[in-house]
Every structure is written in structure tokens, then in C-alpha cells.
């Protein structure tokens, strides 16, 4: 076999990926994507790679969204050119990432992410105790790259060579069935990278798709794996999922699947004890407000988001401190804020430039707090 890692009887540990070798190829006249749907910057990258003798394919969210009838946010490109080979082809191109190098090609305000085909995961990859992949620097073939993608709907390629769509992983079927399905064995794929649990929620709600049953089933139990993900990466992922037009639906799904409690344990605990539902309502209003601003193309702030997400815990601690310590309100609020923020930082990194304004928002609340009639 050309693909030893996928061969039957192989002792290499793979992601339970079946031995499929013949991809589906859908000719240009049999699918709805045309070059008019693709940004000039992305087309420019694809043709530049092709003219230099490399393969250039659109992959990921751009292809997925176009097939699902949604306007793509951005375009990702996949190629057999290494990042070092890609860089000199473009006037403005930066190589980023340590684990797996990517090229960022800039055209004005648009950035096209160009990734080199990834090789298969094997025992050679360095992992932590729960199976999370730590090193990832082996290049591979287009087919191998397809199976390294997270969901089938993200593993579809648009080939600039002949404008066909290439499907190794059954992504087209899942787009038709409107479902998000992991490629390979779900538990293995979540262990490799627990952030995929958050991505499943975000992408499903973005497209109005369901999370397919076997992809959904292990999440509740594997949610604690998020504790092993670096806090800085979780900060980025939390913004993607909650500073988002679908933030309210995402919050509900994250709570249902036990993911929210891994990210914001203090807040989740209060939401569960709060039978009045007032805190949940508050959070949904705050997230809905940000979502609305995004719809209207108004600026939104991570400080406001984190300020709201932690407010239930901050307020409870504030009231406790007022009652038990007799501190002045401003002192109690400052202390409550720093305690809650400090505990939160163990889960999700919040850069100071957002943590400080979030604290200021909390401190302001004391000025309006006339509950105690002290001021
Ligand atoms: P969007 O850009 O709309 O948020 P996306 O699917 O394009 O969604 P990106 O983060 O831009 O998300 O990733 C581009 C592609 O890279 C994905 O479609 C997927 O094929 C692959 N990818 C991203 N993150 C992972 C991951 N954690 N595991 C495996 N593949 C991934
Ligand atoms: Mg993308």
C-alpha cells in the first residue's frame, strides 16, 4: 500500500482511520463552487502556487461554508509546497507556528493561511499522558492531509488544477445530511486535541447542523481533557465560540455538553445553584448583546465578554465579603474581582489588557449598588 499507516494489520497507532484510497472527485459542472465565490486573494495564492509547479487547493471553512450556502469568513489553502518554498513566492508572507509551521500570505487586510500537507499521526508523535499530540511536524500527501482534518465537512478540497472537489472523508455526504462528524475514531481524535469539542459546537451552530451522534456521545465524558490544553489557546477558543454571532446558542450547547464548566467552573457552579435563573438570563443578555453588535459590524470587547462571564462569581463573592468582612463596597469588589480572576486564570489565560478593564467594569457596579442603602 502507498499508505502504510492505514494498512490492515499495521502496528502503528493511527486514529482508527479506515483504508480508503480512492477519493470522490466531483467535476466542476457537478458542484456549486465557482471562482466567483472565492476571494481574489485566495485565488491569487492558488494560482501562484500552481504556476510555480505546486499543488494548490482550497480547504476547510471556505469550501465547507460555500457548499453549505453560508458566506465564508476566510479561505484556507493547502499545498505540497513547504513553508520555506511558499515564502519566496509572495511579497508579504510570514511563517508562523512552532508545532506546525504555516505561511500567512497577506493581501491588504486579507490573510490567507497556507498549510503544507500534514503526514499521518503515529506513535512517533510526542503525546502527553491523555493522548494529546505535542509535536507535529511531519509533512505528507494530500490524502494523508485529508485524514488529519478534524471534521469530514472540513476535509473537502477545491482543486485549482481542474476546479473539482476532492472528498476522501465523506464530507459531501455529511454536508447533505447537515451534520458535523469527526474523521476517524471520535475518542482518539478528541484525545489528540480536546479543542475539537469546542470546534464541533461552534461549527454546528454556525451552519445550523447537528453534531452527529457518535461525535457527540463522548464529549460529556471527555470534557475534562480541556484542562490539559494550554490556557492561552483556550483564551483564543473561548473568544471564537462566545464572541460570536451564535454566542447564545453556543453557550447553551457548551453547558449541555459539560464543556462550559471546564472553561468557567466558578460560573457554572453558580448557574447550577441559581434556581431563579437570573444569572443565566443575565449571561444570555450580555452574550446576545455582543452577538447583535457583531451582526451590526460594531466593535466588541473581550473585556466586556469576560467581565460578564465572571460576573456571577464576582458578585456572589462581593456580597459575601460585604456581609462577613464589613469592607467598604469598593474594597470588597476589588478583592472579589481579583480572587475570581485569579482562580479563572488557572483555566483560561486572560491577558492583562482585558483582565484589567473587566475589573474596572466590576468596580463600577458598586457605584450603582444601592441595595444596601449605604450610599
Ligand atoms: P472558520 O474559519 O469558519 O472559523 P475553519 O474550519 O476554517 O472555520 P480554521 O481554524 O480556519 O477553522 O481551520 C481551517 C481548517 O484547518 C479546518 O477546516 C480544518 O480542516 C483544519 N483544522 C483546524 N483546527 C483543527 C484541529 N484542531 N484539528 C484538525 N484539523 C483542524
Ligand atoms: Mg478558516
Digitized pLDDT (tens) for each residue of the chain, 375 residues in all = 332 333 333 334 455 555 556 899 999 999 999 999 999 999 999 999 999 999 999 999 999 999 999 999 899 999 999 999 999 999 999 999 877 889 999 999 999 999 999 998 777 677 787 777 776 668 999 999 999 999 999 999 999 999 999 999 999 999 999 999 999 999 999 999 999 999 999 999 999 999 999 999 999 999 999 999 999 999 999 999 999 999 999 999 999 999 999 999 999 999 999 999 999 999 999 999 999 999 999 999 999 999 999 999 999 999 999 999 888 999 999 999 999 999 999 999 999 999 999 999 999 988 776 555 444
Q: Whose CA is nearest to atom 8 of ligand 1?
A: 61
Do 49 and 79 touch, CB atoms closer than 8 A?
Answer: yes
Nearest ligand, CA of residue 236?
1
Nearest ligand, CA of residue 61?
1
The values of phi and psi at residue 56, to 5°, are -140, 120
| Interacting residues of 362 by C-beta distance below 8 A, sequence separation 6+ | 307, 311, 314, 318, 333, 336, 337
327 three-state secondary structure: coil
Atom nearest to 65 CA in ligand 1: 3
Does residue 202 have its Cβ closer than 6 Å to ligand 1?
no
Fill in the DSSP letter of residue 133: B
Does residue 80 have its Cβ closer than 6 Å to ligand 1?
no
Annotation says 74 is catalytic: yes
Annotation says 129 is catalytic: no
343 three-state secondary structure: helix
Does residue 339 have its Cβ closer than 6 Å to ligand 1?
no
Q: How far is the CA of 113 from the centre of ligand 2 (A)?
A: 8
Do 147 and 120 touch, CB atoms closer than 8 A?
Answer: yes
Helix (H) or strand (E) holding 78: strand 76-79
pTM for this entry: 0.90
| CB-based burial label for 32 (10 Å; 0-12, 13-18, 19+) | exposed
Amino acid at each position: 500500500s502507498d499508505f502504510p499507516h492505514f494498512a490492515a494489520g499495521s502496528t502503528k497507532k493511527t486514529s482508527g482511520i479506515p483504508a480508503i484510497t480512492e477519493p470522490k472527485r466531483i467535476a466542476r459542472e457537478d458542484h456549486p463552487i465557482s471562482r466567483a465565490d472565492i476571494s481574489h486573494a485566495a485565488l491569487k495564492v492558488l494560482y501562484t502556487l500552481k504556476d510555480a509547479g505546486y499543488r494548490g487547493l482550497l480547504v476547510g471553512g471556505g469550501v465547507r461554508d460555500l457548499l453549505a450556502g453560508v458566506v465564508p469568513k476566510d479561505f484556507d489553502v493547502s499545498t505540497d509546497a513547504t513553508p520555506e518554498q511558499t515564502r519566496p513566492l509572495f511579497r508579504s508572507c510570514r511563517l508562523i507556528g512552532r508545532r506546525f509551521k504555516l505561511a500567512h500570505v497577506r493581501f491588504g487586510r486579507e490573510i490567507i493561511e497556507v498549510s503544507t500537507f500534514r503526514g499521518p499521526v503515529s506513535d512517533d508523535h510526542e503525546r502527553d499522558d491523555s493522548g494529546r499530540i505535542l509535536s507535529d511536524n511531519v509533512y505528507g500527501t494530500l490524502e494523508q492531509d485529508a485524514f488529519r482534518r478534524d471534521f469530514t465537512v472540513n476535509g473537502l478540497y477545491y482543486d485549482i488544477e481542474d476546479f473539482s472537489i476532492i472528498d476522501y472523508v465523506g464530507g459531501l455526504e455529511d454536508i447533505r445530511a447537515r451534520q458535523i462528524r469527526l474523521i476517524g475514531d471520535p475518542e482518539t481524535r478528541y484525545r489528540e486535541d480536546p479543542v475539537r469539542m469546542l470546534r464541533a459546537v461552534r461549527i454546528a451552530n454556525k451552519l445550523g447542523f447537528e453534531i452527529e451522534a457518535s461525535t457527540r456521545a463522548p464529549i460529556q465524558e471527555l470534557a475534562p481533557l480541556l484542562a490539559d490544553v494550554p490556557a492561552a489557546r483556550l483564551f483564543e477558543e473561548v473568544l471564537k465560540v462566545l464572541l460570536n454571532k451564535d454566542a447564545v446558542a453556543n453557550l447553551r450547547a457548551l453547558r449541555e455538553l459539560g464543556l462550559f464548566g471546564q472553561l468557567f467552573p466558578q460560573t457554572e457552579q453558580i448557574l447550577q445553584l441559581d434556581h431563579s435563573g437570573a444569572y443565566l438570563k443575565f449571561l444570555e443578555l450580555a452574550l446576545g448583546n455582543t452577538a447583535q453588535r457583531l451582526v451590526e459590524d460594531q466593535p466588541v470587547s473581550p473585556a466586556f465578554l469576560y467581565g460578564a462571564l465572571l460576573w456571577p462569581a464576582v458578585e456572589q463573592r462581593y456580597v459575601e465579603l460585604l456581609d462577613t468582612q464589613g469592607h467598604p463596597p469598593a474594597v470588597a469588589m476589588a478583592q472579589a474581582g481579583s480572587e475570581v480572576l485569579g482562580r479563572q486564570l488557572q483555566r483560561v489565560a486572560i491577558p492583562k489588557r482585558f483582565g484589567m478593564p473587566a475589573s474596572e467594569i466590576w468596580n463600577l457596579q458598586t457605584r450603582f449598588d444601592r441595595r444596601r442603602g449605604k450610599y
